[in-house]
Structure 1
Amino acid sequence: MAEFTTGEAVALELPIARIPSRAGAFLLDLMLQLALAATLGYLLVLMMLATDADSAWFSVTAVITLVAVLIAYPVVSETVSRGRSLGKLAFGLRVVRADAGPIDFRHALTRGLAGAIVDFWMLGAFGAVAVVTSLCSREGRRVGDVLAGTVVVHTRPTMPVPSLAVAPPWLAGWSAQLDPSGISDELAAAARRYLTRLPTLTPPTQHYLGTRLVEAMCAALRCPAPVGYPPYHVLGAILARRQQLSRV
C-alpha cells in the first residue's frame, strides 16, 4: 500500500502494482501488439503490392508499423481509458498520477516514448531496465513512470453491500428469546464472514467451522444450540436477532 495526497488534500491508500501483475499485463498487451502489427503490416503490404510501390515504401511501412505498435497502442489505449490498457484492464491495474488523479495524453505519451526507448525495447534490453528500476523504487516505478510522474496501482475494489442475515422461519421463535449483547463484534464478524464464504467452502469445512462458531455463539449467549439444524441456519438466526436489536 502507498499513501497518495489528492489535490483536495485528501489522503488515500492504494495498493501498488508490483512486477508479477505488471508483467502479466505487459505480456497480454504484447500479444495484442503482435496481432496488431501482423494485421497492420499485412494490410499495408497489400496496398503497396496493389499500387506497385518500390522497395522504399516497404521500409516506410515497417517504420509505420513499428511506431503504431510500440508507441501508438499504449498511448492511445491509456489516454482513452484514463490509464488502463487492455492488459491492465484484465489484471485490474490502472496508471494514475502521483496525486492519484487520472492521467491524460501528456502522461500517456511520456510513458509510451520512455517504454519504447528506455524501459523495454531500444535501450531497455527487452524489459531488463524496467524490472531493475521497478525493484529499486518503493512505488514500483519504471523510468517512464518517473518521467511522467505516474504510478501503477491495483484498482480499488468496490466495497460490498453489507449483507443482512435472515432468520429461518423455523428458528424465528427461538431467536426471538435471545439476548445477543454478550456476542462480541469480532465473533459476529467471524460468523458473518463464514456465511458470506459458505458457497466456496467444502461440506466438511462448512460443518467444522460452522459447528465451532455455533458453539462459541451459544457460549456467549449462555444457551444451548437448537438440535437438528445446520450451523448456518443457527448462525443466521443469531445474527438476525443481533441486527434487529441494534436497530432499536
Structure 2
Amino acid sequence: MRDGILIGEGVVLDARPASFLSRGLGFFLDLVAIGVLLVALSLVASRSLSFVDPDYGPAILIAILVLVMVVIPTTVETLTRGRSLGKLALGIRVVRDDGGPVRFRHAFLRALVGVGELWLTFGTVALVASLTNDRGKRLGDMAAGTYAIRVRGGRATLAPLVMPPYLQAWASHADMRRLPDGLALAARQFLARVDRLNPASRARLGQELAGQIERYVAPGPPPGTHPEAFLMAVLAARRDRDWVTARRQQVLAAEQAEMLHRLPYSVPDPSR
C-alpha cells in the first residue's frame, strides 16, 4: 500500500499522506498566525528600544526571528503531537515514519531545517522537495523522519474491545508484558477495520500481528485460537489491567494526600 503508514513492526496502517494542497494551505494559515505574532513582537521590540541601548537592536531582532521561526513551531508541534494551528484546521497531523507521534527532536529538526527551506527561500525548496517525494516530504521531514498524514474530521468510533468468553480464564492467568505503542496501535486499528479488508489480507495481517504480539505473552493462547480472537483478548486484558493499575495509583495518591494533611501526634484538626 503506497498510501499507508509502515510502522516499525512492518504493519501498514490505514492512513494516507496529506495532499500537497492541504499541506500548503495549512502552512499558509500557520504563516498568517506567525505573521500576526511577528508584527506584535516587532511593535513591542520597537517600543522597548527606546529604553535600551540601540546597539542591542540587531540582537533583539535575531532573538525575535529565532523565537518565531524555531522556538514557537517546535514547542507547538511537541505539545500538540504534530498539530499546529494550520494543520488542525486542515485536518492533518505530522507523525513519525513508523506512525508514532512526533517528539521534541523531530519537531526541532523540522523547524530548524524549515528556516532554510521555508523562510530563506520563500518555500521554493520545500515545494520542490514535496512534489518529488511520494509522501510529500519536505527536507525537514526527511531529516526528522516524519511526514504529514490526513486525519479524519471527527474521531473515528472504534468497535469496543470485548474479551472472548472462552479466553477469559487463559487471559486472567497469562503474563502479558506491555506492548510497544506502534504494535498495539496496529492491532487496534486492524480489529477496527477487519470487515473492510480483503479476506486474504485480513488473514495475513491477523497472523502477522498475532505472531508479533505472542512474543509478549506467556503462555501462548490455547491451541486453535483464532488470531483475531487472540488479539482481542490481549488488548482487552491489557486495557483492564492498565485500568486497575491506574485506579490503584489514584487510591494510593489520595491516601498519601490525606496523610499529608493530617496534623502530627494525633492533634485534632480544628478545620474538620
TM-score, L = length of structure 2: 0.54
Q: Could you tell me how far 1:64 is from its partner in structure 2?
A: 1.2
Question: What amino acid is the match of 1:34?
Answer: G
Match of 1:116 in 2: 115
Q: Could you tell me how far 1:68 is from its partner in structure 2?
A: 1.2
- Percent identity of equivalent pairs: 38
Q: Could you tell me how far 1:141 is from its partner in structure 2?
A: 0.4
Task: Measure the CA separation in 2 of the matches of 1:6 and 1:35.
Answer: 38
Q: Does residue 1:84 correspond to 2:80, yes or no?
A: no
Task: Measure the CA separation in 1 of the matches of 2:58 and 2:39.
Answer: 15
Question: What amino acid is the match of 2:149?
Answer: V
Task: Measure the CA separation in 1 of the matches of 2:43 and 2:7.
Answer: 46
Matches within 5 A, 1:11-22: 11-22=12-23
Instruction: Specify which of 144, 155, 158 is matched with residue 158 of structure 1.
Output: 155
Q: Does residue 1:30 correspond to 2:31, yes or no?
A: yes
Q: Secondary structure at the match of 1:151?
A: strand
Match of 2:258 in 1: none
Q: Could you tell me how far 1:160 is from its partner in structure 2?
A: 5.6
Matches within 5 A, 1:1-248: 2-49=3-50, 51=51, 53-117=52-116, 119-122=117-120, 125-156=121-152, 157-159=154-156
Whether the 8 Å CA contact 1:41–1:61 is kept in 2: the answer is no
Q: Secondary structure at the match of 2:119?
A: coil
Q: Could you tell me how far 1:44 is from its partner in structure 2?
A: 2.4
Whether the 8 Å CA contact 2:15–2:150 is kept in 1: the answer is yes
Q: Secondary structure at the match of 2:129?
A: helix
- Deviations along 1:20-58, one digit per CA (max 9) or x if unpaired, are 111111111111111111111222222331x2x222211
Task: Measure the CA separation in 2 of the matches of 1:9 and 1:137.
Answer: 21
* Unmatched runs of 5 consecutive residues or more in structure 2: 160-272
Task: Measure the CA separation in 2 of the matches of 1:9 and 1:18.
Answer: 24
Q: Could you tell me how far 1:15 is from its partner in structure 2?
A: 1.3
TM-score, L = length of structure 1: 0.59
Q: Could you tell me how far 1:63 is from its partner in structure 2?
A: 0.7
Task: Measure the CA separation in 2 of the matches of 1:98 and 1:32.
Answer: 27
- The number of residue pairs the alignment matches comes to 157
Whether the 8 Å CA contact 1:78–1:84 is kept in 2: the answer is yes
Q: Secondary structure at the match of 1:138?
A: coil
Whether the 8 Å CA contact 2:4–2:17 is kept in 1: the answer is no
Q: Secondary structure at the match of 1:21?
A: helix
Task: Measure the CA separation in 1 of the matches of 2:156 and 2:80.
Answer: 22
RMSD: 1.9
- Deviations along 1:200-227, one digit per CA (max 9) or x if unpaired, are xxxxxxxxxxxxxxxxxxxxxxxxxxxx
Q: Could you tell me how far 1:8 is from its partner in structure 2?
A: 4.7
Task: Measure the CA separation in 2 of the matches of 1:154 and 1:109.
Answer: 22
Whether the 8 Å CA contact 1:141–1:151 is kept in 2: the answer is yes
Whether the 8 Å CA contact 1:45–1:61 is kept in 2: the answer is no
Task: Measure the CA separation in 2 of the matches of 1:161 and 1:2.
Answer: 21
Match of 1:240 in 2: none
- Deviations along 1:226-245, one digit per CA (max 9) or x if unpaired, are xxxxxxxxxxxxxxxxxxxx
